[in-house]
Structure 1
Amino acid sequence: MSFWTLFGFFLVVALLIIVVIVAYTKAKDVNSFFIAERKAPWYLIVGSLMASTISGAAFLGMQASFYNTGASVFWILIGCSLGFFIMCFFVGPKLRRFGKFTIPQYLAERFDSPLLKPVFSLLVTIWMVILMGTLYVQGGLLFESMFGFNYSTSILIIGVVTVLLTVFGGMISVLNSDFIAMFILLIVSVIAFPIIINAAGGWGEITTFVMAESPNFFTNTSGVGTFASLSWVIIWSLGYLGHPGFLTRFFTAKNEREIIKAGIGISVIYLPFWIMIFATATAAKILYPNIADAETIWMVSMVDYAPAFIVGLGMAAIFVGILSSVNTWLLTAATSLTLDIYKTLINKNASEKRVLGYSKLVIVILAVVAIPIGIWRPASIIEMMNIAYAIAGSAGGLVILLSMYYRKMTKEAAWSGIISGAAIAIIWRLGQGVGFVPNNIDPIIPTLAISLTLIIIVSKMTQPSKKTLNMFSRLQQPEIAKKSTTL
């Protein structure tokens, strides 16, 4: 590996270390460690949401999906865009108005059901661990390709580094390192995009070759079918909407207006970025028609065609993006387990110092639990993420959205939606794994239909409490919102 590649890589890593050191000096209490003192401006929220989305998943998993499947993968991205739109304009401002720390806290207060905190916290932890497994896969592939390390060793290194960064920096570190990763990833993509396209002979040559080899590559469904494409839209839009790792970013915002600004910023950046990723993956059909592992396309093409310094920056940005995403999932799960289970059920009078100490211990434990999933690598990155987002969307996304706009939704209805959503999604996936359930029907469709039906029926059969109705009213009226930052 050339000097300039290493220089570019470690330049970004050095910048990350500086960010973590600065964050460590500021993360002294629960407000700073968990929610960055509620002072995040819109651009840090954009950077954090984008980096968590476009890090290794974009340059490893999504590149491979575009390469293998074609333009139909854009239905996933349309679902993600829809999820971001709903989050930033319709959900995020209300969560900021609520003003606490975790999504389980919100659900428990919205439906006047304290038991929702520990139960939903466990669900949060399950899908956060699955997502961390996908990120460890990304880090393992990156280090294996870049430094020639053993895959399992690479994952262990990523695990140790992410634990250190999360324990020392908290949410302040996550927001700032995510912003740096997003900025560099976008710069590198803009530079590499024309280089790789030209190396493949230009866009006209690429499309002619690919259409001759795969006639359905550029069609709406690319041969995967309308039903599968629709399933992707629902999985990823509701999955994003039910993803506490994304939603907790809104607790960090300075105010509701910053969240709206973040939504506008994401709208400008998101799809144009993915068009570049799709184009470079399509170019790889010419450059690497028989590549052994499609999830290494970006790294191989960068090394072969981009300037060495840009290669180093690009690899480092993916590395930082992976780290930041793992940091976020670790912090989200640890925050929820500590505040929603430990402080709620075990030690209600725990001091801030004790809560922070246990949070850091939980971070270490969760990282250790997720590492075997990354080493095992039971499926492709995108398939593993599909499973996680299906659970998130089924158990959380629908319930969270309805909780903010369905006034008569009751505690019993929320429970029915969460339990049925999680149970059906998990059982359906397990059934597909053993061949009991057909693979051509994604669990999100029956799960969504059953959960929505149950929520409506149960809401009609029961009555919301006065506290539940007052909480709903509070979410609708910014001027009476309670600015609470207490545990």
Structure 2
Amino acid sequence: MAGRDGFARRLLRNYLIYAVVFVALLVALAVGERHGLSEATIGMVFLFGTVGIYAGIGVASRTSDLNEYYVAGRRVPAVFNGMATAADWMSAASFIGLAGSLYFSGFEGLAFVTGWTGGFVLVALLLAPYLRRFGQYTIPDFLGARYEGHVVRIVGLAAAVLASFVYLVAQIYGVGLVTSRFVSVEFEIGLFIGLAGILVCSFLGGMRAITWTQVAQYLVLIVAYLVPVTMLAYKSTGVPVPQLMYGPVMEKLSEREGELIWDWREAEARELYRQRAEDYVQRIAGLPESLETERRERAAELKALLARDAPAREIVQLERALRDIPPTPEAAREAWSEARDEALRRAEVPNRFAQAHPGVLPEQEAESRNNFIALVFVLMIGTAALPHILARYYTTPGVTQTRSSVFWTLFFILMLYLAAPAYAVFAKWEVYSNVVGTEISALPSWVASWGKVGMVRFEDINGDGILQLAELWLNTDAIVLATPEIAGLPYVVAGLVAAGGLAAALSTADGLLLTISNSLSHDLYFRVMRPSAPSHRRLLMSKSALLLVAIAAAWVASLRPDNILFLVGLAFSLAASAFFPALVLGIFWQRANRAGAIAGMLSGLALTMFYVMRTHPFFGGDAANAWFGIRPISAGAFGVVLGFAVIVVVSLLTPAPSPAATSFVRRVRSPESDEPDDASLH
């Protein structure tokens, strides 16, 4: 015990020194900016300085010991494991996407805050202590031991890899987004710069390196989140306590929303977008003739411009328009359908920020309420089933520390989540009061800079030279990253936010990469293929898998998939439907058997994937196919229910588990011992 206390004190001292140095760096950069330090230099310092620190921790924590590589030697104190888990948990979706979702969805976005925080209550009550009592390394490891077989282990492995890979792509996409904006490089180059940082943190030291790196990353991301929102609160209200002061600003925002809803210029712009949508409907109905007609008309316009020696700018624009015409009727149908949907969204009267379950008709309100409840449900269950989060609770010294660790995780997460609604309110107030209604010729520079990376778009559809709300498009992921510039804060704050977003994405990406590689090397290679493999060969396989998975995820992220928040929601749905029923019933119901677990996991996962492909446009689906109006991000709600039902029914219809499995459940259900006898469970 004295050794543990001394270790914890050394950690506390080292991270206090690190925090002081980081704050000193912030002050130095702020002073430098006032004396002419360029924005490019500030961005470089934040990016390469923080990544360099993480890499240094990763190199210093290198290890060839299996226990250290897989579970950090099971000696991480509860407070530090809570901080590392919070960093592992608060991905690019939380840091970059959560405030953006609240910005656009208002009350409806609180489903993310409620679901994600509530999920850790389930972790503390239903899973973490029992998994720690089990010991070992991975979630498929638990499934294989509880349900006695390699088949259920492989099903768990496949589900862990699938859910974690989808989540990983979102994080690497976030890395590319941040680096491309703040180092002024192409998105793909920024993506691979960030990938190098991810690999250096995790490749040499596994869970040991990731744990201590994530503690450092949490300190960066929480400072990066709280500093700008505190400055926004002070700028708007004169009181630097955003969690308490965003209420009065929300009242002013509601008044401004009312003005914009009834403004005649806004109504004119919305009507023009509605007419545009109708035009696309007619074009789609007229295919393939409408495609040929458009091509002929554009060619004739270009010929006329060339004949009258028009300005080069007009000619270039028309040449680009001609080049962008879809090559085939199928491509035209897809492109025009997307343009129609975008025009319809802009033509809608925006929902009020504070309105709960918006909808003009009673059935629309009911559908909105159903989606809110389904999303909260999926996020709670998904939180309690994410393999890379559950694996963190293998790293504490004992069961008591695991319970404390969950408490500290919730505490550190709430520091950010309580500020997210304030961030959304202050950001929206800045845009609605200082950007919307501005002359387009006088728009601030951030519009152009963020437009270059595809995060901001606008057009003057009614030609009045003034930017209407309907004419402005902001990507959800741009709200946090761009708000410091939108609000006119010093650029050092924008650089700090970028460093925080990068820390959030890197920390989660490291945990996900390690989860995938450890599952492949431990559960597939060691448990199934080569049970006699020596330690050095298992480490080699884990590192090789880590490298290959990282490259594959970076390639998928370079294709710029859907927004970060949807990818993360999909990962939660997959994890929830695949793992939660099998884990909970495996711990609390002795009658659950191998056949039931396999059938339940496969059926829940299959239904979730089917529903997403049936309803999401990215997979060729249509939202009209939704059941009860539930959006694809909440597809796991159906998979979880089916998974529980199938496990129960199949288990009751097939032979009971062996006495060894029953004994396993009894031992795991007795987590009072602070030193789990891991070997006795195998």
Work out whether the TM-score is over 0.5: yes
1:297 to 462, 470, 479: 479
- Give the structure, 1 or 2, with the largest relative contact order (CA under 8 Å, sep 6 or more): 1
Q: Which has the larger radius of gyration?
A: 2
| AA in 1 matched with 2:383 | Y
Q: Give the Cα–Cα distance (whole angstroms) in 1 for the partners of residues 92 and 643 of structure 2.
A: 32
Q: Give the Cα–Cα distance (whole angstroms) in 2 for the partners of residues 51 and 306 of structure 1.
A: 26
Deviations 1:76-113 (A, max 9, x none): 22111122122134311111110111111101111112
Tell me: CA distance 1:227–1:404, structure 2 relative to 1, closer, same or farther (3 Å): same
Residue 3 of structure 1, CA deviation: 4.8
What is aligned with 2:422? 279
C-alpha RMSD over aligned residues = 2.4
Larger deviation: 178-187 or 103-112? Answer: 178-187
What is aligned with 2:320? none
What is aligned with 2:219? 183
Tell me: CA distance 1:473–1:303, structure 2 relative to 1, closer, same or farther (3 Å): same
Residue 451 of structure 1, CA deviation: 1.8
2:378 to 235, 244, 248: 235
| Long gaps (5+) in structure 1 | none
- 1:80 has 2:116 as partner: yes
Q: Give the Cα–Cα distance (whole angstroms) in 1 for the partners of residues 680 and 509 of structure 2.
A: 25
Q: Aligned runs of 1:254-333 on 2, under 5 Å?
A: 254-289=397-432, 290=472, 292-303=474-485, 305-333=488-516
Deviations 1:147-171 (A, max 9, x none): 1221122112222331232212211
What is aligned with 1:355? 538
Residue 115 of structure 1, CA deviation: 1.9
Asked if 2 retains the 8 angstrom alpha-carbon contact of 1:141 and 1:296, the reply is no
TM-score after normalising by structure 1:
0.93
What is aligned with 2:636? 444
Residue 332 of structure 1, CA deviation: 0.4
- 1:217 has 2:353 as partner: yes
Residue 114 of structure 1, CA deviation: 2.4
Deviations 1:278-312 (A, max 9, x none): 21122222323435323122222234544454444
Q: Give the Cα–Cα distance (whole angstroms) in 2 for the partners of residues 144 and 10 of structure 1.
A: 13
Residue 138 of structure 1, CA deviation: 0.8
What is aligned with 1:473? 666
The DSSP-based 3-state class of the residue aligned with 1:225 is: helix
Q: Give the Cα–Cα distance (whole angstroms) in 2 for the partners of residues 248 and 52 of structure 1.
A: 11
| AA in 2 matched with 1:109 | A
| Long gaps (5+) in structure 2 | 1-38, 238-244, 258-349, 360-366, 433-471
Q: Give the Cα–Cα distance (whole angstroms) in 2 for the partners of residues 314 and 141 of structure 1.
A: 13
| AA in 2 matched with 1:460 | L
Tell me: CA distance 1:322–1:418, structure 2 relative to 1, closer, same or farther (3 Å): same
The DSSP-based 3-state class of the residue aligned with 1:70 is: helix
Q: Give the Cα–Cα distance (whole angstroms) in 2 for the partners of residues 485 and 81 of structure 1.
A: 34
Residue 222 of structure 1, CA deviation: 4.9
Deviations 1:458-486 (A, max 9, x none): 22223122111111001112349523399
- 1:435 has 2:638 as partner: no
Q: Give the Cα–Cα distance (whole angstroms) in 2 for the partners of residues 265 and 306 of structure 1.
A: 32
Q: Give the Cα–Cα distance (whole angstroms) in 2 for the partners of residues 11 and 250 of structure 1.
A: 30
- 1:169 has 2:205 as partner: yes
Asked if 2 retains the 8 angstrom alpha-carbon contact of 1:425 and 1:444, the reply is yes
Q: Give the Cα–Cα distance (whole angstroms) in 2 for the partners of residues 311 and 84 of structure 1.
A: 31
Tell me: CA distance 1:73–1:61, structure 2 relative to 1, closer, same or farther (3 Å): same
Q: Give the Cα–Cα distance (whole angstroms) in 1 for the partners of residues 514 and 506 of structure 2.
A: 12
| AA in 2 matched with 1:288 | V
Q: Give the Cα–Cα distance (whole angstroms) in 2 for the partners of residues 76 and 3 of structure 1.
A: 36
Asked if 2 retains the 8 angstrom alpha-carbon contact of 1:8 and 1:311, the reply is no
The DSSP-based 3-state class of the residue aligned with 1:115 is: helix
The DSSP-based 3-state class of the residue aligned with 2:679 is: coil
What is aligned with 1:380? 563
Q: Give the Cα–Cα distance (whole angstroms) in 2 for the partners of residues 311 and 392 of structure 1.
A: 34
Residue 124 of structure 1, CA deviation: 0.9
Asked if 2 retains the 8 angstrom alpha-carbon contact of 1:122 and 1:337, the reply is no
What is aligned with 1:454? 646
What is aligned with 2:452? none
Tell me: CA distance 1:361–1:215, structure 2 relative to 1, closer, same or farther (3 Å): closer
Larger deviation: 452-461 or 359-368? Answer: 452-461
Would you identify which runs of 4 or more consecutive aligned residues in structure 1 move more than 6 Å?
none
Larger deviation: 349-358 or 142-151? Answer: 142-151
Residue 425 of structure 1, CA deviation: 0.7
| AA in 1 matched with 2:566 | E
Deviations 1:36-79 (A, max 9, x none): 11111112221222112324222322122111111221212211
Tell me: CA distance 1:79–1:468, structure 2 relative to 1, closer, same or farther (3 Å): same
TM-score after normalising by structure 2:
0.67
Asked if 1 retains the 8 angstrom alpha-carbon contact of 2:67 and 2:73, the reply is yes
Q: Give the Cα–Cα distance (whole angstroms) in 2 for the partners of residues 168 and 140 of structure 1.
A: 23
Asked if 2 retains the 8 angstrom alpha-carbon contact of 1:12 and 1:313, the reply is no
Deviations 1:170-208 (A, max 9, x none): 111211111112122223333222212344567424432
The DSSP-based 3-state class of the residue aligned with 2:150 is: coil
What is aligned with 1:405? 588
Larger deviation: 245-254 or 115-124? Answer: 115-124
Q: Give the Cα–Cα distance (whole angstroms) in 1 for the partners of residues 484 and 680 of structure 2.
A: 46
Tell me: CA distance 1:211–1:136, structure 2 relative to 1, closer, same or farther (3 Å): farther
Deviations 1:346-405 (A, max 9, x none): 222111101111111101111121123212232111111111110100011222122111
- How many correspondences in the alignment? 485
Percent identity of paired positions between Structure 1 and Structure 2: 20
Larger deviation: 204-213 or 185-194? Answer: 204-213
Q: Give the Cα–Cα distance (whole angstroms) in 1 for the partners of residues 172 and 593 of structure 2.
A: 39
Deviations 1:99-144 (A, max 9, x none): 1111111011111122222221122111111111100111111112
1:249 to 392, 395, 398: 392
Asked if 1 retains the 8 angstrom alpha-carbon contact of 2:597 and 2:647, the reply is yes
Tell me: CA distance 1:175–1:485, structure 2 relative to 1, closer, same or farther (3 Å): farther
Q: Aligned runs of 1:7-156 on 2, under 5 Å?
A: 7-24=45-62, 27-156=63-192
Q: Give the Cα–Cα distance (whole angstroms) in 1 for the partners of residues 209 and 570 of structure 2.
A: 28
Q: Give the Cα–Cα distance (whole angstroms) in 2 for the partners of residues 152 and 8 of structure 1.
A: 19
Tell me: CA distance 1:288–1:149, structure 2 relative to 1, closer, same or farther (3 Å): farther
The DSSP-based 3-state class of the residue aligned with 1:92 is: helix
Larger deviation: 87-96 or 268-277? Answer: 268-277
Q: Give the Cα–Cα distance (whole angstroms) in 2 for the partners of residues 65 and 394 of structure 1.
A: 24
Q: Give the Cα–Cα distance (whole angstroms) in 2 for the partners of residues 141 and 485 of structure 1.
A: 47
Tell me: CA distance 1:486–1:162, structure 2 relative to 1, closer, same or farther (3 Å): farther
Q: Give the Cα–Cα distance (whole angstroms) in 1 for the partners of residues 405 and 207 of structure 2.
A: 17
Larger deviation: 172-181 or 305-314? Answer: 305-314
Asked if 1 retains the 8 angstrom alpha-carbon contact of 2:43 and 2:182, the reply is no
Asked if 1 retains the 8 angstrom alpha-carbon contact of 2:51 and 2:197, the reply is no
Larger deviation: 437-446 or 476-485? Answer: 476-485
Larger deviation: 62-71 or 222-231? Answer: 222-231
